[in-house]
Structure 1
């Protein structure tokens, strides 16, 4: 198994699926690059891959290109990748990093005080939380991963789709 494939397999082994999806705490907010506040509810109906990271964290930096490629692959499926930076310097610190590392698909999202991460019990960077289309946490991975490997992308698509039992359909 090659290096990327081994890393992807290792990432999948560390992906903890929740038997019962968990609701997110209410009122969690973070900002976009312009400092406008956002809440997860703004993305209702979309699945989310929420990655908590920082520019000073070597494993975070290592996985950012694969998160950027993941976003390019899954955006058309209604899956958003939100990389929430914990850098205290905010946009001034994150934007040059994006430019230097040629990240083209990820938006700049900021949690500089780490409040959203703390509310979600993020204890280690990087940590990634998968949120389904109903806004429920369905899985999390602590540590880095090769997010754009086919088996990882397949797991994300499987875990974040809305279960048939939760869909409402009306028949006449």
Structure 2
């Protein structure tokens, strides 16, 4: 009996037994680009996996992580992985646009602001910075990392998310 219960437990943790209704909803919002204010829609852009980097210009650990995120943005497209930055600065474009112009990240930077930081978005609450949410090919949040991490960990997690949707 014990082995039957163990077998059922293992089988129900597989993808075949997951309740699809319990998956998070896809992220279907549009946010303004920091550089020109044009809307950038998550719903219109779906890659195999998306790295969404949440940061603020005043956040020292975020600044330290930016080169790792930039490297992931340079190598990711070869593997179907896209990188997006979402700035959570309360002052918005007044502080973010000059920062983006000075750093020239190789990925789009969007203005998230207070509503995103406070959890009033499909991303949910962003409890600390830097934070990264990984979206699967359907745009659903699939993994989260909080704190300073390197390119290798970003790409490893993005590849894991991508492989779940293959």
Are residues 1:135 and 2:139 paired?
yes
SS of the residue 1:114 aligns to? helix
Q: Distance in 1 between matches of 2:98 and 2:67?
A: 15
Question: Would you tell me which structure has more strand in proportion to its own residues?
Answer: 1
Deviations 1:50-86 (A, max 9, x none): 1111011111111011101110010232221111001
Work out whether residues 32 and 38 of structure 1, in 8 Å CA contact, stay in contact via their aligned partners in 2: yes
Q: Distance in 2 between matches of 1:42 and 1:117?
A: 24
> Which of the pair has the greater relative contact order for Cα pairs under 8 Å at 6+ separation?
1
Q: Distance in 2 between matches of 1:42 and 1:116?
A: 23
Q: Which runs of 5+ in 2 are unaligned?
A: 1-14
Q: 1:61 aligns with which of 60, 63, 66?
A: 63
Q: Distance in 1 between matches of 2:154 and 2:89?
A: 27
- For the aligned residue pairs, the C-alpha RMSD in angstroms reads 2.6
How far 1:44 moved relative to its partner? 2.4
Q: Provide closer, same or farther for how the CA distance between residues 107 and 131 of structure 1 changes in structure 2, counting only shifts above 3 A.
A: same
How far 1:25 moved relative to its partner? 6.2
Partner of 2:85: 83
Q: Structure 1 runs of 4+ off > 6 angstroms? A: none
Q: Provide closer, same or farther for how the CA distance between residues 104 and 115 of structure 1 changes in structure 2, counting only shifts above 3 A.
A: closer
After TM superposition, the score normalised by the length of structure 2 is 0.72
After TM superposition, the score normalised by the length of structure 1 is 0.69
Partner of 1:5: none
Q: Provide closer, same or farther for how the CA distance between residues 26 and 141 of structure 1 changes in structure 2, counting only shifts above 3 A.
A: closer
Q: Provide closer, same or farther for how the CA distance between residues 143 and 158 of structure 1 changes in structure 2, counting only shifts above 3 A.
A: same
Work out whether residues 49 and 128 of structure 1, in 8 Å CA contact, stay in contact via their aligned partners in 2: yes
Q: Distance in 2 between matches of 1:82 and 1:142?
A: 16
Partner of 2:11: none
Work out whether residues 49 and 162 of structure 2, in 8 Å CA contact, stay in contact via their aligned partners in 1: yes
Q: Provide closer, same or farther for how the CA distance between residues 45 and 155 of structure 1 changes in structure 2, counting only shifts above 3 A.
A: closer
Q: Provide closer, same or farther for how the CA distance between residues 117 and 161 of structure 1 changes in structure 2, counting only shifts above 3 A.
A: farther
Q: Provide closer, same or farther for how the CA distance between residues 47 and 158 of structure 1 changes in structure 2, counting only shifts above 3 A.
A: same
Count of aligned positions: 143
